[in-house]
Structure 1
Amino acid sequence: MSSPTADVSVRIAWSDDAGAIAELQVRTWREVYADLLPAEALPDDVETAAATWRAALSRPGDARNRVLVALERNRVVGFAITSPATDPDRDPIVDAELSEVTIDPAERGKGHGSRLLQAAADTLVADRFERAVLWTMAGDDGLRKFLTEAGWAADGAHRELDLDGSGTTLVKQVRMHTALTGSIS
């Protein structure tokens, strides 16, 4: 007799997923980034976020802009955003950016993040990208550890973002990278 398996998957997000993605993003960011960012720098309006997500999912700016969702049954438990890389030292023809990987904190450790990261990599390879980068907050040790264990590495690039335009809410970030095909360059 075999044991039951979980009904889990990853797929490209639909515009109908906008509300679930927005709710997950707002709730997760407020929890995960509470010690890294001031509360006023974090989104708190699910309806506004859902409208933004709905527009982005309905009309992506580039055919290679993708949002993937990790599902447990039909419930969104994580999402990832992929696109061509925009950094001036990256080539958007062969370099991709994974601009976000968010997993519901209550769902971590169940394989959703690994499935989502692998699906993002597979999607990027299908879109003919050779390398991928991801900017992470310098203080987000959990994400950096997860990425490092998945074969990503810091590439030495770093930046500081001014979130409110006044210079009072600065976020230090480091860039991680990985080869999707061949070796990292």
Structure 2
Amino acid sequence: MAHAAVRPALPDDAAEVARIQCDTWRAAYTRILPAAVLDELDVTAVEASWREAIDDNRASVLIATEGEWTVGFCVVGAAPPEETAGSDGVPAPDAAETGLIASLLVEPRWGRRGHGGRLLLAAGEQLRAAGARRGIVWVPIADAASLAFFKIAGWEPDGLSRTLAAGERTVRELRLTGPLDFQAAEVIEDPDSEPPAE
């Protein structure tokens, strides 16, 4: 395996991040997102959104590389208070110390090579450096690979779920939470290294 690393994304990485998102969704999310949503993905528009996100200081975009290839990405930052809220809508008492992993994707053809684990380790380091003591992530219930990945890392569902509209379907997501002091041995599997289970 060529040298693998994680680094902050640069504006010039936006095209590769967009390609990975579109390719990964089309390969691994066919049972989660409607075909019409996947068919309407416009790589050029997605690239513009990623370029804006990379330039924005509210969240950090990290990319995983293997040799000269970009193979995955992660988006992390402070959790908006409403994302930490319980079923009563009241933000968690530790909302100011809670980080959010907004997205973590590894292109399926690069799965099972530790890239997801390296992204998660880097995300934890970045969030801890910013003052976070725990993290949260929302994962589609049908995405068994990502649920298993975060559970291996020590995160568990906290009892909250939400339903998002996705074209003619809805997507049910679970909120997982856990500590940010990941150990390399705990995060050996990559999300999206196989299609999510139904």
Q: TM-score, with normalisation over the residues of structure 2?
A: 0.82
Residue among 93, 102, 110 paired with 2:105: 102
Q: Where do residues 102-141 of structure 1 align in structure 2 (5 Å cutoff)?
A: 102-141=105-144
Q: Distance in 2 between matches of 1:140 and 1:59?
A: 28
Aligned to 1:16: 12
- Partner SS, residue 146 of structure 1: helix
- Partner SS, residue 97 of structure 1: strand
Aligned length: 171
- Partner SS, residue 96 of structure 2: coil
Q: Distance in 2 between matches of 1:111 and 1:117?
A: 10
Q: Distance in 2 between matches of 1:161 and 1:47?
A: 24
Aligned to 2:189: none
Aligned to 2:76: 82
2:139 touches 2:175 (CA, 8 Å); kept in 1?
yes
Give how far 1:75 is off: 1.4
Residue among 29, 41, 51 paired with 1:44: 41
Give how far 1:37 is off: 1.3
Q: Distance in 2 between matches of 1:36 and 1:59?
A: 29
Tell me: higher relative CO, structure 1 or 2? Use CA pairs within 8 A at least 6 residues apart.
2
1:124-175 C-alpha deviation (Å, 9 max, x unpaired): 11111011000000110010111111111111111111234xxx32110001
| Structure 1 residues 84 and 92, CA gap change in structure 2 (3 angstroms) | farther
Pairing 1:71–2:68 present: no
Identity of aligned residues (%): 33
Aligned to 1:59: 56
Give how far 1:92 is off: 4.2
Q: Distance in 2 between matches of 1:147 and 1:122?
A: 16
Q: Distance in 1 between matches of 2:148 and 2:102?
A: 17
2:33 touches 2:166 (CA, 8 Å); kept in 1?
no
Give how far 1:6 is off: 2.8
Q: Report the more deviating stretch, 80-89 or 8-17.
A: 80-89
Give how far 1:33 is off: 0.6
Gaps of 5+ in 1: none
Q: TM-score, with normalisation over the residues of structure 1?
A: 0.87
2:5 touches 2:65 (CA, 8 Å); kept in 1?
yes
Q: Distance in 2 between matches of 1:51 and 1:71?
A: 21
Aligned to 1:145: 148
Q: Distance in 2 between matches of 1:85 and 1:163?
A: 23
Give how far 1:85 is off: 1.2
Q: Distance in 2 between matches of 1:82 and 1:16?
A: 19
RMSD: 1.4
Q: Distance in 1 between matches of 2:180 and 2:147?
A: 18
